[in-house]
């Protein structure tokens, strides 16, 4: 895996934010994990959580991938694999230059605060940077943590 520069990551996050703002199905978008917590390292991929009403839709239909402006971050999707983590449907994207991004699609229930799900608490507490939160779901989650 090739590490991305901070500048390239910010361009990628901006492209994902613009896409999420234009997609009516997206209710929230956040960077999570080591990059969000400022503990990135050479082997760290980028982990993004996307809150949508129907996570399975984003696995079954790859149209969303062509809607993201990857080239603005100097990226082109090479291939991907899908992984099911129970409540999350993740697409592990591998780009032409060796960069990696994990896009996890979750339902709004993932961000519920009464009570906060233990796996959500673990992921969000490990580092979460909100990128798009039109309904305040992620903001409420951060306050509840």
pLDDT in tens, 77-98: 889 999 988 888 899 999 888 8
Give domain status of residue 125, yes or no. yes
pTM above 0.85, yes or no: yes
Residue 95, domain CATH:
3.30.460.10
Question: Is residue 10 within 8 Å of 18, Cβ to Cβ?
Answer: no
**Structural domain boundaries enclosing 68:** 6-144
Exposure b/e, 85-106, CB count within 10 A at least 16 = b: eeebbbbebbbeeebbbbbbbb
Confidence class for position 141, pLDDT limits 50, 70, 90:
very high
Give domain status of residue 1, yes or no. no
The total number of structural domains that make up the chain: 1
Q: In the chain, count of helices (H) and strands (E)? A: 6, 6
9-13, 35-39, 81-85, 134-138: lowest mean pLDDT where?
Answer: 35-39
pLDDT at residue 41, rounded to an integer:
65
Question: Is residue 71 within 8 Å of 80, Cβ to Cβ?
Answer: no
Cα 85 from Cα 119, distance rounded (Å): 10
Question: Is residue 59 within 8 Å of 17, Cβ to Cβ?
Answer: no
């Amino acid at each position: 895996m090739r590490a991305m520069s901070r500048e390239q990551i910010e361009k990628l996050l901006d492209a994902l934010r613009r896409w999420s703002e234009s997609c009516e199905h997206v209710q929230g978008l956040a960077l999570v994990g080591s990059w969000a917590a400022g503990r990135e390292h050479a082997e760290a991929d980028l982990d993004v959580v996307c809150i949508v009403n129907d996570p399975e839709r984003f696995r079954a239909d790859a149209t969303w991938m062509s809607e993201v402006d990857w080239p603005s971050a100097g990226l082109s999707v090479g291939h991907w694999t899908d992984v099911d983590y129970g409540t999350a449907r993740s697409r592990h994207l591998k780009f032409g230059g060796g960069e990696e991004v994990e896009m996890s699609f979750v339902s709004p229930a993932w961000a519920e605060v009464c009570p906060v799900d233990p796996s959500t608490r673990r992921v969000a507490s490990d580092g979460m940077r909100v990128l798009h939160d039109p309904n305040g779901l992620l903001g409420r989650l951060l306050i509840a943590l």
